[in-house]
Chain A
Amino acid sequence: MPSVLLTESIALELGAQEPWPQDVKLFQPYEVEQILLPDNANCLAVQAFLKMCGLDFEVEPRSNAEYMSPSGRVPFIKCGAFVVAELDPIISFVNHKGISLSDKLDSVQKADMRAYMSLINTVLANAELYITWCDKTTLQEVTKPRFGSVLPWPLNHILAWQKRSQVVKKLGVLGWGNKTLDEVYEEIENCCSALSERLENRPYFFGDRPTELDAQVFGHLFTILTTPLPNNRFASIVRGYPNLIELCKLVEKEYFERTAEA
């Protein structure tokens, strides 16, 4: 085990020696026609994180981004000779370059941040997967047409079916397979109330400066709020927590509108 961990860290160290290049590209599926709720949340979280760090990048939509990614999941960034996928590896990759959003936090706060990030990863991300792939109406009306929009005829059905069985298997292992839709909504409710209790009335989770956690919360909640679904109870649960909405508005204003103007 240690040898493999070593090679991983060497790769990160090597990457760290170079400064942040100019032509970093973030690959993701097409936002308007193709992208699905869970992927969109992850892509938005990574975008928010990079913007909070003040790093330049270009969004590069590709219809087959999922199959290009080294881990099989979107989004991924191409930074010089390195290709890094998903939020956590991207965070540690950026940290190795000496850029971090959480270096002002003490070690207990960092541990808290890790715990809340895994709360989002286990509850919100799985709930999004459940609603996208296991809820029958959403699957038929939204997921399948969008997923298949970039694929020719027999493939759109075959790959959608394959992807669905993969997701169902994963959710089953995580103990979400037997849940009913109501139980899923209850989980979301619990998660949002926990986040809301933690945020209290501050602008960001750990004071006045955004952290990785804020990027992740923004990515997930903003996507949930803005994605039209046949059943919008998901969004209405989130709307019940005004301080979380404030956080989303703040991050959007600070980091997304400003760049759009410029």
Chain B
Amino acid sequence: MNHPMELYIWGGDWGLPSVDLHCLEIMAYAKFSGVPLQTCVTNNPFWTPNGRLPVFKHGKQILSSFPEISAYLRKKNFNADFGLSHKQCSEVLAYTQLLRGQLYFALQYVRWVDTKNYIELIRPWYAKALPFPCNYYYPGSYEREAKHQLQALYDQDDDPQSIETFVYGEAEKCLTALSTRLGDQEFFFGVHPTSLDATVYAYLAPLLKVPFPSPALQNYLKACPNLARFVVRITQRYFPYAIQEFDAKKSAGSGARGETPESVSDFPNRRRHQVLAGLFAAAAMTGYALSIGLVQVSIKDEVSENLANHEDLIQAAENTED
């Protein structure tokens, strides 16, 4: 098979190779097991088989979930868990389920349901990353999906506050367990990264790096220094380009900030838009005033009666007002 293995992913930002959990999981697993994987940033889930990224392509094989892809790679003799004993493999399974059961929905909550995070950060980011017509559809659809998930799981709690408390409580217990389990080790099972490390990295890295406006859970993660170091270590060792790109962008941003405020870079041609919007509003208002006959009748009459004399014009205007 001479076909290259390709992975279509969401783009990265904030020093992450990708902002999406599922993309990160596969990318980290591929790095750990030495798969020559080519990643293509598409930011467009429209053409994928089930409407979501990542998509893994190898010749005619098209796969999109982590268990499928890791099973496929194992068949191709790329295995990150090669050196583990049976007992350690069983621990990998248990901790993976712990993350999936307790942390995943908290992450969904932080990203899509927490209003402040969603409106100020997540929706603008996805709207900017997605190409034109999709950017009106996908962020909202992901939000609805996340809300539906949390509602289906915690249906007895009508109060959103109690859902938040419960979800964050579970997530904190999970983070504590991970932090104790990792201890001072480099990776979860010694010096070599395994599939569990890939999964943990994928869950924790976005939570640590994305600058969420409401950072309750993020602060909890930052209070576990070994987990924070774990994320930084993997990013530096396996995805150095993401950090370099982010630093370059940051320094470019701070260089430009000396001359112009930061908001300009978010909205290019801001002045032009303002002028155009002002003109449009003025034209619309004038049109409306003209169409319902608020203004023009008197003016037309004056103009047709007498164009030459200015004082007459004012007089006439006063008359009509009376």
Contacts and interface: CB of A to CB of B under 8 A. Distances in A.
Given A72-B156, A173-B149, A190-B93, A114 B98 contact: yes
B183 A108 contact: yes
Contacts of B91: 112, 115, 198
A105 to B, nearest CB: 11
B181 A111 contact: yes
B94 A115 contact: yes
Contacts of B148: 173
A118 B156 contact: no
Contacts of A95: none
Interface residues of B, number: 34
Given A118-B102, A194-B93, A108 B180 contact: yes
B87 interface: yes
Contacts of B102: 118
B100 interface: yes
B252 interface: no
A127 to B, nearest CB: 12
Q: Which of B101, B149, B161, B216 has the most CB of A within 10 A?
A: B101
Interface string A41-77: 0000000000000000000000000000001100000
B97 A118 contact: yes
Contacts of A190: 93
Contacts of B152: 169-170, 172-173
Interface string B94-129: 110110111000000000000000000000000000
A115 B177 contact: yes
A61 B90 CA distance: 37
Contacts of B149: 173
Nearest to B177: A111
Contact of B100 (A1, A111, A122, A197): A122
Q: Which of A1, A118, A172, A173 has the most CB of B within 10 A?
A: A118
Interface string A111-148: 11011101101110000000000000000000000000
A81 B171 CA distance: 29
B195 to A, nearest CB: 14
Interface string A1-12: 110110010000
Interface residues of A, number: 34
B312 interface: no
Contacts, number: 86
A121 B148 CA distance: 21
Interface in B201-228: 216
A118 B94 contact: yes
B90 A198 contact: yes
Interface stretch (B4-12, B162-170, B231-239, B281-289): B162-170
A112 B181 contact: yes
A33 interface: no
A174 B102 CA distance: 12
B73 interface: no
Contacts of B100: 122
Q: Which of B94, B97, B153, B177 has the most CB of A within 10 A?
A: B94
B178 interface: yes
A171 to B, nearest CB: 9
Nearest to A71: B156
Given A112-B91, A197-B86, A119 B98 contact: yes
A166 B101 contact: no
A204 to B, nearest CB: 16
Interface in B53-93: 86-87, 89-91, 93
Given A1-B164, A5-B169, A119-B97, A173 B87 contact: no
A191 B102 CA distance: 17
Contact of B98 (A108, A115, A174): A115
A1 B165 contact: yes
A107 interface: yes
Given A114-B173, A193-B90, A200-B87, A123 B97 contact: yes
A255 B175 CA distance: 34
Interface in A144-170: 166, 169-170
A81 B209 CA distance: 45
Q: Which of B93, B148, B156 has the most CB of A within 10 A?
A: B93
B183 A5 contact: no
A1 B177 contact: no
A195 interface: yes
Interface string A163-189: 000100110111000000000000000
Nearest to B168: A1
29 contacts: A1-B216, A4-B164, A8-B165, A71-B156, A107-B180, A108-B183, A111-B176, A114-B98, A114-B174, A115-B91, A115-B94, A115-B181, A118-B102, A119-B93, A119-B97, A119-B98, A121-B101, A122-B100, A122-B101, A123-B97, A169-B152, A170-B152, A170-B155, A194-B94, A197-B86, A197-B89, A197-B90, A198-B87, A198-B90
Interface of B: 86-87, 89-91, 93-95, 97-98, 100-102, 148-149, 152-153, 155-156, 161-162, 164-165, 168-169, 173-174, 176-178, 180-181, 183, 216
Can you list the 6 inter-chain pairs with the closest CB atoms, starting with the nearest? Answer: A194-B90, A111-B177, A197-B90, A115-B94, A122-B101, A72-B156
